Structure 1
Amino acid sequence: MNTRICPFVLLAATLPAGVQAEVIPLISPPAPETQQPLPELQKARSCQPLQSAIQANLGSEPRVWSVTVLNSDGDLLGDINGSIARIPASNQKLISTAYALDRLGPDFRLKTRLIQRPDGSMELNGEGDPDLGIAGLQRFALAALRQGGSRGVTSGPVNLMVREEPRRNWWPSDWHPADRGYAYGAPITRLALTSNAVGGAVSDPYNRLQRLFQKEVQRRGGAVRIQQAQPLSMAEISNRGDREEMVVLHEETSAPMHALLSLANTESHNFTAEVLMRQAADLWDVKAASRATERWMWEQGLPVQGLRVADGSGLSRNNRVTSQTIAALLMRMDQHPYAPYYQASMAIAGQRGTLRNLYRGTPIDGRFRGKTGTISGVRSISGILQTADGPRYVSMISNGSTRPNTVIGQILRSVLKFSPCPSSVAPAMLHGGRG
């Protein structure tokens, strides 16, 4: 019996038991809370002992650093060059993952679908699932040949249209050519077997997919004719005139959004961060998706002076963001309905991800959740530090520091030491005495 799934039909009987991907119900994300802006950053309510400690921690390098520390009231407890936009490296992922979580929700899954058209030909559509592998490709080949199902085997070659991005969209134009040969610089495509990386980057993922699909079909005694076609956006798919006659022969789904967020933030997986930004914007041209991300940041009521989004991962050296923007974003997301998912996606000092080997056995161990960032000449770290006086939203970005790791550790310890701020007690007592 067929099951209708808007806008397509999924043939539940096409594949053997155990092969059909499970259909997971999704929840609808809330609308952006543009009517409930964050408290404005309170620059007058600083913590002077912390400010002095940060200045001392920076030593002779204050000009190459931007450092911001906020509390949950928006008090700018410590700030050095916090309004100067710098290259953030992978701290950029905090922006793209927040955008994706807000727009798509924690249960969203990336889909790869084999669709039969009214004329009997087929389409393979994808959304950039980073975990799509060879086993999934084999299941698609099986579905295309209709082996093991109630319809038997097709006669004649399978006509398959593969909807994939043109080569000009595979990499942001400003990614350095040398980076494109490594796994961390793999091309960003909708149908990406093993995230387009096998040791290093796969230089022509469409050709690889075509070759492996043909090989799998031939191994099963069939033949296939493949042609590349322009992908469709989610909006275009919804508006297709023939959508009611489309049949989904097989579907592979990614891990849910909260797992994808962790892959992007905890493990700093560039491919996943890039896909999430594009999918949230429903735009796979990176420049258009970047503009949509900037617009979302502005809609959140964040301080966005100097913000420039060039990609979703931070590999581009054309990204610019201030430490005030990132710290305010962390505060914003801590108030978001999906805050637990966002926080859970980050690395943990001394325990998990890119922070697992840092600050182990120190007071910071287990108390700091954050995102690191490193490219040549750039070191950044931003996250939430749990203190005796509540959370501290910390962002540190250096462009040109000679001792970034030392400075970062010293500043985190200073934030712990001055939470609560010693100077914050006196004004409160004086105010109470006057009453």
Structure 2
Amino acid sequence: HTWTEPTLNGVEIDNHMVFKDYGHCPRRYQFDYQPTLTDSGHTRITLTGVLPKGCSTSSYLSVMEQGDYTGALLTGLWQQLGGTLTGQIRQGLRPRDVDTELLATTSSRDLVTMVRDINKWSNNVMVRQLFLSLGAKYRQPGDRDDLAAAERTIREWLETKGIQSQGIVFENGSGLSRIERISARQMASLLQQAWESRFAAELIASLPLVAMDGTMRRRLGKAGMAGMGHIKTGSLRDVRSIAGFTRDENNTTWAVVAMVNHSQAWRTETILDSVIEQVHLAARPPSIDTAGH
């Protein structure tokens, strides 16, 4: 079965996935998709790929413009409730001279819940919205836009924490950037500040739990480290990284950061896992060679 979440009016799934009776569920399955516009104006998403029966896979796709997406979402939800709509969806400000009736309002969930969703599943769209919201909240007359306001606000905050922001590059606030930069040392300093923050518990709990959930659910399970660390993963073409907290065998918590920038970075996941494992084992006394060698 294939479906969209949430249900979008005017979006069709054309499923050409092949399901086989054998094979193990792949660790990282990537299916192919091709969005096209139908004669009726609907968006059709054609799926192709091979998947063993009993396995599942999911992906976040952005196939519609923001205005079209909002219209499809509202009409889809309205139809699920048994309603019908006539006319067209239009985006814009309500004219002052038009008498309108407010039907409903909505607010996002609390910040702790939003950050947890962002970090557990590495949702770049949500973190970009959070970045822009930060800029909108603290925007000043001299700021060019919300992006600039967010960058200024973060740099000022870093200064109050004694963290040098030189070399840090912001573009859109999410992981989908080719020019954003931060050093491993700067990231480790951020983690140290987070550990000392009164909101430390909320932030740490938002990070994927090793071998248990989020983007770390299938990593380090064979190392016997389930639940022994909270690690945020990062991946981009030619980039792999980890950052978070892990405990050694004496239950001392360590901040751990590792970044790989290389054309073969996609091959280094096991190396990054080994970094986490070695930090976990760092407190173990060295073995003694009883043979005297």
One fold, TM greater than 0.5?
A: yes
Deviations 1:83-121 (A, max 9, x none): xxxxxxxxxxxxxxxxxxxxxxxxxxxxxxxxxxxxxxx
Equivalent in the alignment of 2:116: 262
Does structure 2 conserve the Cα–Cα contact (< 8 Å) formed by 1:349 and 1:364?
A: yes
In structure 2, relative to structure 1, the CA distance for the partners of 1:301 and 1:421 (3 Å cut) is farther
Mapped partners of 1:221, 1:370: distance in 2: 46
Tell me which amino acid in the other structure corresponds to 1:280. Answer: L
C-alpha deviation, 1:224, in angstroms = 7.9
Say if 1:379 and 1:398, in contact at 8 Å, map to a contact too.
Answer: yes
1:348-401 per-residue CA deviation (whole Å, 9 max, x = no partner) reads 110010000000031432111010011010010011011215111011011016
What is the aligned partner in structure 1 of residue 272 from structure 2? Answer: 408
Aligned to 1:344: 205
Deviation at 1:412, TM superposition (A): 2.0
Report whether the alignment pairs 1:201 with 2:65.
no
The 5 A counterparts of 1:126-275 are 200-210=61-71, 220=84, 226-229=90-93, 249-275=103-129
Q: Quote the Cα distance in structure 2 between the aligned partners of 1:347 and 1:182.
A: 31
Matched, 1:397 2:251: no
1:23-422 to 2 correspondences below 5 Å: 200-210=61-71, 220=84, 226-229=90-93, 249-282=103-136, 285-387=146-248, 388=250, 390-400=252-262, 402=264, 403-419=267-283
1:221 Cα deviation (Å)?
7.1
Matched to 1:359, the amino acid is L
Find the aligned partners of 1:337 and 1:316 in 2 and give their Cα distance: 30
Q: Does the 8 A contact of 1:182 with 1:200 survive in 2? A: no
Report Cα offsets for 1:227-255 as digits up to 9, x if no partner.
5149xxxxxxxxxxx9xxx9965222323
What are the Cα deviations for residues 55-77 of structure 1, in whole angstroms up to 9, with x where unaligned?
xxxxxxxxxxxxxxxxxxxxxxx
Number of residues paired by the alignment? 219
- AA aligned to 2:67 is Y
- For 2:255 and 2:205, the matched residues in 1 are separated by 15
Output the CA distance in 1 between the equivalents of 2:197 and 2:185.
18
Q: Tell me how far apart the structure 2 counterparts of residues 267 and 204 of structure 1 sit (CA, whole Å).
A: 23
Contact 2:135 2:146 in 1 (8 A): no
Alpha-carbon distance change, 211 to 272 in structure 1, aligned in 2, over 3 angstroms: closer
| % identical aligned pairs | 23
**Aligned partners of 1:315, 1:227: CA distance in 2, in Å?**
27
| Bigger share in helix | 1
Report the AA paired with residue 290 of structure 1.
Answer: E
Compute the TM-score of the two structures, normalised by the length of structure 1.
0.44
Instruction: Extract unaligned runs of 5+ from structure 1.
Output: 1-131, 136-180, 184-197, 231-241, 423-435
Equivalent residues of 1:277, 1:293 under 8 A apart: no
Distance 1:134 1:390, change over 3 A: same
Please give the TM-score of this superposition, normalised by the length of structure 2: 0.63
Distance in 2 between residues matched to 1:342 and 1:398, nearest whole Å = 24
Q: Conserved in 1, the CA contact under 8 Å of 2:135 and 2:147?
A: no
| Contact preservation (8 Å) 2:67, 2:91 | no
